């Protein structure tokens, strides 16, 4: 837990335990189901858990905030964020059933009562959410088209409701194709590790 403790020093004992068990779960599960690239499993804490938690450097979700994680894959960024914000409600969706089933096992293993999982395409999803989070599942313009109808127009957070999209590399062309106001928050302002050098969060208000 060297990275999590370094950047999030005020965790409760329960949260520390959950993050430790989270790492145990993924190391065990990944032997049979490739939730994370086998080449990258040794970087689980830095590349996946801490990367997910980087959203918390941009916004501290208020209690009761409803967050949708689209294309959650192995449960990122949704599961780490659900541990960090236990008073918020998280919905994790993916179109691949075996991944959703595995994420459901993780939720049960970590006893996360604030998380529900759903096997569906986001285009078929019903409901309203305050924020949609994701880790670069497709082009930004396509993604925005998928999720915009699912976002509540009014909220009570420091940021206006919208999309928080974890993205790396040069995004100028993608951002320009959207045609709406976007904000790019560089993560190397918050984290010193080289992994974050070209990583950032694209925020698109609803």
Of residues 1 and 53, more confidently modeled: 53
What per-residue string of b and e applies to 100-120 under the rule 16 or more CB within 10 Å gives b?
bebbbebbeebebeebebbee
Which residues touch 206 (CB under 8 Å, ≥6 apart)? 148, 151, 152, 153, 160, 161, 162, 163
Q: Residue 15: what pLDDT?
A: 98
Q: Residue 168: what pLDDT?
A: 82
CATH for 54: 3.40.50.150
- 80-106 per-position pLDDT tens digit: 999 999 999 999 999 999 999 999 999
- 19-60 per-position pLDDT tens digit: 999 999 998 888 777 778 888 889 999 999 999 999 999 999
- 103-132 per-position pLDDT tens digit: 999 999 999 999 999 999 999 999 999 999
Tell me the residue range of the domain where 198 lies.
Answer: 2-205
pTM of the model: 0.95
Which residues touch 118 (CB under 8 Å, ≥6 apart)? 91, 92, 93, 100, 125
Tally of domains in the chain: 1
- 51-85 per-position pLDDT tens digit: 999 999 999 999 999 999 999 999 999 999 999 99
- 136-192 per-position pLDDT tens digit: 788 888 899 999 999 999 999 999 999 999 988 777 677 777 778 889 899 999 999
């Amino acid at each position: 837990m060297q990275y999590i403790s370094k950047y999030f020093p005020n965790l409760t004992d329960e949260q520390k335990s959950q993050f430790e068990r989270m790492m145990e779960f993924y190391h065990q599960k990944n032997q049979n189901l490739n939730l994370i690239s086998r080449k990258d499993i040794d970087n689980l804490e830095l590349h996946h858990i801490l990367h997910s938690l980087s959203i918390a450097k941009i916004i501290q979700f208020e209690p009761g905030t409803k967050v949708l994680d689209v294309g959650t894959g192995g449960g990122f960024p949704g599961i780490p964020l659900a541990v960090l914000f236990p008073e918020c409600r998280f919905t994790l969706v993916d179109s691949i059933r075996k991944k959703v089933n595995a994420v459901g096992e993780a939720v049960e293993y970590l006893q996360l009562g604030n998380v529900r999982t759903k096997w569906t395409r986001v285009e078929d999803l019903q409901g309203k959410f305050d924020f949609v989070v994701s880790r670069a599942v497709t082009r930004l313009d396509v993604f925005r088209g998928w999720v915009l109808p699912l976002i509540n127009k009014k909220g009570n957070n420091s940021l206006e409701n919208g999309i928080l999209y974890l993205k790396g590399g040069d995004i100028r062309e993608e951002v320009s194709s959207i045609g709406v106001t976007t904000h790019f928050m560089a993560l190397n302002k918050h984290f010193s590790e080289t992994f974050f050098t070209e990583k950032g969060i694209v925020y698109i208000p609803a």
